Structure 1
Amino acid sequence: MKVTAFGTSNSVNSINKKLALYAAQQISNADVTLLDIHDFEMPIFSEARENETGIPSLAHDFYQAINEADAIVISFAEYNGSYTSAYKNLFDWTSRIDMKVFQNKPVIMLSTSPGPGGAQSVLAAAQGSAPYFAADVKGALSLPNFFDNFDSEASVVTDETFNQKLNEIISTL
């Protein structure tokens, strides 16, 4: 199974990218491709810019990466209670190719943050809008207090409740 994973932060040390990779690696026999959305930075979306220059090739590359996957693992970073600007811009450009950005692929949605909220606000927003963008959401899960629940040396989640719920979601793939 080809699994594409990414975190929605363009931070070099993205905890959401670490969580997405961890979750994807829990899928048996997965061939995991880890995307870094920092590699997909584009001009800020506007219809005027689209009319002038067209859709950037990086948006097409991102759409193709989704197309090539059998399943998607996304971990959402939360900035001020919502999507990161880097992800929102990438998503806006990609949706101009096809509103069905996720192409009816099975998607596992995650989120984490350093604090107790675990980025649950953005995760709820992503779940709520998923049907409009053809995401077959198999489950959504938040990991609060990332640095207390993730062993960075071993790159593993240490919260057994989270791991159990993650495995239940993975079993639906």
Structure 2
Amino acid sequence: MKRVLAFGASSSKASINRKFAIYAANAIENVEVEILDLNDFEMPIFSVDRENENGIHPLAYKFKEHIKAADGILISFAEHNAAYSAAYKNIYDWASRIEKSFFYDKPLCLLATSPGARGGARVLDIAFNAYSFANKNLVTKFSLPSFSQNFKEGEGLVNSELKDALFTELEKFKAAL
């Protein structure tokens, strides 16, 4: 059975992106899902000086082990000031120092949501552009606008057009696993 690693790229305990990532990953049939919490990988702010003095932080290696063990990665990005959250960016900065390939050219499903009408579209564009260039495998994306209007606890996506669009992207992702 294929393994999908999923996480919300936020450190908020009430993260809507974490909820969205869990929903999307569990909507993919016949895969094993592993959910990560970025709070389990909290490290000092990355700097070359810290790396030179102490080496790469052990939690960065642990994070990369999860990526290496997965067949595909699903991430839902929180948008902080039009970019990645500091929590995700710091993990990425540390873990990207281990090996050249961050995602090992595995299929990626990139998502984002927010309370607003743009649904985290700016951070999703940043991630899609960066990872499409660096990753040789399929990279798919989907932005969910107005989270509280379009997503309900226990039901998931309640807007049928958005649900169909998400499931189309999830099928592309599953086919690439």
TM-score w.r.t. the length of structure 2 is 0.93
Does the Cα contact within 8 Å between 1:130 and 1:136 map onto a contact in 2? no
CA contact (8 A) 2:79 2:123 kept: yes
Are the counterparts in 2 of residues 73 and 109 from structure 1 also a CA contact under 8 Å?
Answer: yes
Equivalent residues in 2 for 1:1-173 (5 A)? 1-134=2-135, 136-152=137-153, 154-172=154-172, 173=174
Give 1:81's aligned amino acid: A
Whole-angstrom distance in 2 between the partners of 1:88 and 1:155: 31
Deviations 1:142-167 (A, max 9, x none): 00110111112x15111212221222
Instruction: Return the offset for 1:139.
Output: 1.4
Residue 137 of structure 1: how far off its partner (Å): 3.8
**Aligned length in residues:** 172
1:67-113 Cα distance to aligned partner (Å, 9 max, x none): 11111110000001111000000000010001311111111000000
Residue 134 of structure 1: how far off its partner (Å): 2.5
Displacement after TM superposition at 1:135 (Å): 6.2
User: Is the Cα contact below 8 Å between 1:6 and 1:17 reproduced in 2?
Assistant: yes
**Kindly tell me: are residues 167 and 52 of structure 1, through their superposed partners in 2, closer, same or farther at Cα, counting changes over 3 Å?**
same
Identity of aligned residues (%): 44
CA distance in 1: counterparts of 2:65 and 2:135, whole angstroms: 15
Structure 2 unaligned blocks of 5 or more: none
Q: SS where residue 141 of structure 1 aligns?
A: strand
Q: How far off its partner does 1:132 sit? A: 4.6
What is the TM-score with the length of structure 1 in the denominator? 0.95
Distance 1:40 1:16 in 2: 17
Tell me, in whole angstroms, the C-alpha distance in 2 between the residues paired with 1:71 and 1:103.
10
Q: 1:47/1:132 Cα in 2 relative to 1: closer, same or farther (>3 Å)?
A: farther
Structure 1: which 4+ aligned runs deviate by more than 4 Å? none
Question: Cα RMSD over matched residues?
Answer: 1.2
Task: Check conservation: 1:6, 1:34, Cα contact below 8 A.
Answer: yes
Report SS of the residue matched to 1:105.
Answer: coil
